[in-house]
Amino acid sequence: MLFKNYKNCIYCNSQNFEKKTNQSNESNFYLDAIVDDLNISKKDLKKIKTYECKNCFILQNNPWFSEKIAKKIFSNIYGQHNRSWSNLINFLKKSKAPDHGELFNLLNKLLKVKNYAEFNSPFMGIFLNYFAQEYQLNKKFYSNIYTHTINYLSSRQVAGKNKNLQKKGSIKSKKTLNCIKFFKNKFKKKKRINKYLFIDNSSLAWGQNDNHKSVNSKSFANEMLDLEILQLHEKNKVKLDLFGIFHTLDHTMQPSLILNFALDVSKYVVVYCHVNEQVERQHLFSLTNNFLKYLNKKKIFTFNVTKIINKKFKTPELYFICTKKKNYKDRLKKIISNEKKFNQ
């Protein structure tokens, strides 16, 4: 089955939809590949229409690809999260962290983070900012940590090779792992915070084939960024200061569960997402600015920080910080108020 009817809102489960007047019919990098690989006609693709949920205000396509096809799109057709890997490569080769404007500075004013987590994609958020805080900025170090991490994680990929090459792979693995430890110890400058990456293996998420040079993004992040990878549905007692969801809330079939989980285990949650007026057809749904009104009604205190982080946007995007806890809300309100005065 190519398409599936999504009659209920993916976020709030409402069936109160209104069809959007303007429908996205533009082609793009991702859609071209999906059309080619799945052998879809343009007529079939035009069946996908965008609706607005009148309860939580997200935009949702219906019909849209079945979960089986969605899994194929994000695992086979575009298995590599190109933007995420590009963030890492630019950081290690050009010392350039992902562009979130002055968000990291704002968060540091808000609270002292000792326990931090992100969801699904490890190089889209601020893990790399913390790495830059914890280790010296040194081109040789960055170059070596990239090379040795790639070599270590690919060194035991010896299937089909003779015993001599398998042995060489084991020797290389030990050597490169020791190099990683040596360079990290040499260039370490401050105590590391506890970092976690939660994953849910959704059909809308990059996962099993999110690879670069035969190395998976989560394995690379685990080794380089000193983070622990946790399954979202496993029982855990992690308590966090901050939880980041960077362009991944619209890449899960359970966005409400994810956001509420983050709010329950963390003082604050920061979310970064697209807010296009139209949902491109490679996406099931998209958040909107009005979505924050829905969260506020649900006693989730939200603060839109898009305009105060001094970022130059190429496309419509939204940054917001939220919490369920009133005492944390009051501190956040005070910090943001000071930032607005400073930027005036």
| pLDDT value at 88 more than 80 | yes
| pLDDT value at 325 more than 80 | yes
Portion of the chain with pLDDT greater than 90, in percent? 78
Same domain, 140 and 245: no
| pLDDT value at 341 more than 80 | no
Is the pTM higher than 0.85? The answer reads yes
CA-closest candidate to residue 225, choices 123, 316, 115? 123
Same domain, 112 and 154: no
Please report which confidence band the pLDDT of residue 344 belongs to, taking 50, 70 and 90 as the band edges. Answer: low
Same domain, 221 and 92: yes
| pLDDT value at 319 more than 70 | yes
Mean pLDDT within 224-252:
92
* Residues in contact with 260: Cβ distance below 8 Å, sequence separation at least 6, in sequence order: none
Please report which confidence band the pLDDT of residue 343 belongs to, taking 50, 70 and 90 as the band edges. Answer: low
Within the chain, where are the H helices? 29-38, 42-45, 67-72, 82-94, 103-110, 127-134, 139-154, 163-187, 217-224, 255-265, 291-297, 326-343
Same domain, 143 and 245: no
Given 152, 171, 188, the domain boundary residue is 188
CA-closest candidate to residue 11, choices 252, 235, 280, 304? 252
DSSP strand pairing (211-212 vs 194-199): unpaired
Please report which confidence band the pLDDT of residue 290 belongs to, taking 50, 70 and 90 as the band edges. Answer: very high
Given 188, 223, 252, the domain boundary residue is 188
pLDDT digits (tens, 9 = 90+) for 112-128: 999 999 999 999 999 99
Is the link from the previous residue into 255 a cis peptide, with omega within 30 of 0?
A: no
Domain carrying residue 145: 136-188
Same domain, 287 and 303: yes
Same domain, 119 and 48: yes
Provide the number of structural domains found in the chain: 2
Same domain, 215 and 89: yes
Same domain, 260 and 311: yes
pLDDT digits (tens, 9 = 90+) for 154-196: 998 989 988 898 888 899 999 999 999 999 999 999 889 999 9
Partnered with residue 60 across adjacent β-strands are 51, 285
Same domain, 130 and 9: yes
Same domain, 176 and 325: no
Radius of gyration of the chain (CA): 21
Given 125, 158, 188, the domain boundary residue is 188
- Average pLDDT over all residues of the chain: 93
pLDDT digits (tens, 9 = 90+) for 131-147: 999 999 999 999 999 99
Q: What is the CATH classification number for the domain harbouring 328?
A: 3.40.50.150
Please report which confidence band the pLDDT of residue 259 belongs to, taking 50, 70 and 90 as the band edges. Answer: very high
Element (H, E) at 318: strand 317-323
Same domain, 179 and 215: no
Same domain, 78 and 144: no
